[in-house]
Amino acid sequence: MIAWRAYAAVGLGSALGTALRYLVSLAMPGLAGPAFPWATLAVNALGSWLIAAFAAYAARRTSGRMARWQPFLVAGFCGGFTTFSLFGLETLQLLEQGRAGLALAYVLLSVVLWLAGAWSGHRVGHRAAARA
Amino acid sequence: MRYTWTTHSWVVFFMAGAEGREARMSIGLTGLLLVAGGGALGGMGRLALANLVARRLGAAFPWGTLAVNLSGALLMGLLAGVLGPSAPGGPGPLWQLLAIGLLGGYTTVSSLSLQTLTLWQQRRIHAALANLLATLVVGLLALVLGWWLAGGPA
């Protein structure tokens, strides 16, 4: 793919993913309380599921159709939707508030959900490709 | 959902089912555009750095994602030290553009998760653990360092 097309696809996907993450962060404090960064936890787990599901599906569908969506969906949407820097900042904020136990719980729960999300997504994508 | 036009923004009202109470929230269109614009630039910056690093160091280990997340964490620390994290009453436009948009979109967890899973599936257990731990430990330290350099109270 021509380089500028890849950059345009990633930029567009990342803009959409980032905007959706922002909307989730606005919607979730009202539902779950602002004490714990549920929104970032949710988007990072969901994004991990989605990227692994797509990668596993695309790996078995070797026609070019899926590969064309990869820059937009993987590096673009999933990359922009999930965030490491805000996760780190939220952890630091919990520590600053003297809630070290909650900060540790946030980090551990995050890592478990990221990996569980990727693992589950991989299985689902793999099976979906086998059925298709 | 009901949309109301105001001078600055679209205000979106919607009902949320939390104990039958009516939740009401406003989403500034300006804020959403700032976040999306920052996210577009951040995503393209991530692609550029990941490509550059992969060309230099090869693709056997996800150095590109590591470089992106560590540099993004350092910059987020600096930014939080300069601007302060989101102020009461909601984040300002600079925070929306640079923190939530640019650096939020620049760094990524999805690639980290997928690449760690892939290393694990290739039975490169040590590489998988090293990738995860390096991102978490060095990333959080980089964030604190950035915050401290910018005069944050760490």
How much is the ipTM here? 0.94
Indicate the number of domains in chain A: 1
- What pLDDT was estimated at residue A116? 98
CB contacts, 8 Å: B85 with chain A:
89, 93
B18 has a chain A CB within 8 A of its CB: yes
- What pLDDT was estimated at residue B27? 63
- Compute the average pLDDT of residues B13-20: 36
Kindly list the domain boundaries of chain B, sorted by start residue. 32-149
Chain A neighbours among B 55-114 (CB < 8 Å)? 69, 72-73, 75-77, 80, 85, 96, 99-101, 103-114
Helix (H) and strand (E) counts in chain A? 7, 0
- What pLDDT was estimated at residue A85? 97
What is the pLDDT of chain A when averaged over all its residues?
A: 92
CB contacts, 8 Å: A47 with chain B:
109-110, 113
* Spatial separation of the C-alpha atoms in residues B47 and B88, rounded to whole Å: 34
More confident residue, A1 or A130: A130
Element (DSSP H or E) covering residue A32: helix A29-32
| Residue whose entry in the numeric block shows the structure tokens 């102020």 | B87
For chain B, the three-class secondary structure string (H helix, E strand, C coil) is CEEEECCCCEEEECCCCHHHCCCCCCCCHHHHHHHHHHHHHHHHHHHHHHHHHHHHHCCCCCHHHHHHHHHHHHHHHHHHHHHCCCCCCCCCHHHHHHHHHHHHHHCCCHHHHHHHHHHHHCCCHHHHHHHHHHHHHHHHHHHHHHHHHCCCCC
Please indicate if the annotation marks A33 as binding a ligand.
no
Element (DSSP H or E) covering residue A107: helix A100-131
Of B16, B114, B116, the CB nearest to A30: B16
For the ranges A93-97, A119-123, B32-36, the lowest mean pLDDT is seen at A93-97
- What pLDDT was estimated at residue B94? 92
B106-150 residue pLDDT tens? 999 999 999 999 999 999 999 999 999 999 999 999 999 999 999
Other Cβ atoms within 10 Å of A127 Cβ, number: 14
Of A55, A80, A111, the CB nearest to B42: A80
Concatenated DSSP letters of A47-60: HHHHHHHHHHHHHH
- Token duo for residue B136: 């978490």
B122 has a chain A CB within 8 A of its CB: no
A31-81 residue pLDDT tens? 555 679 999 999 999 999 999 999 999 988 777 777 888 999 999 999 999
Of A10, A13, A84, the CB nearest to B107: A84
Domain of A51 in residue numbering reads as 3-131
More confident residue, B65 or B12: B65
Q: How far is A127 from chain B (nearest CA, A)?
A: 17
Please indicate if the annotation marks A79 as binding a ligand.
yes
CB contacts, 8 Å: A30 with chain B:
16, 18, 23, 25
C-alpha closest to that of A28 among A45, A49, A13, A53: A45
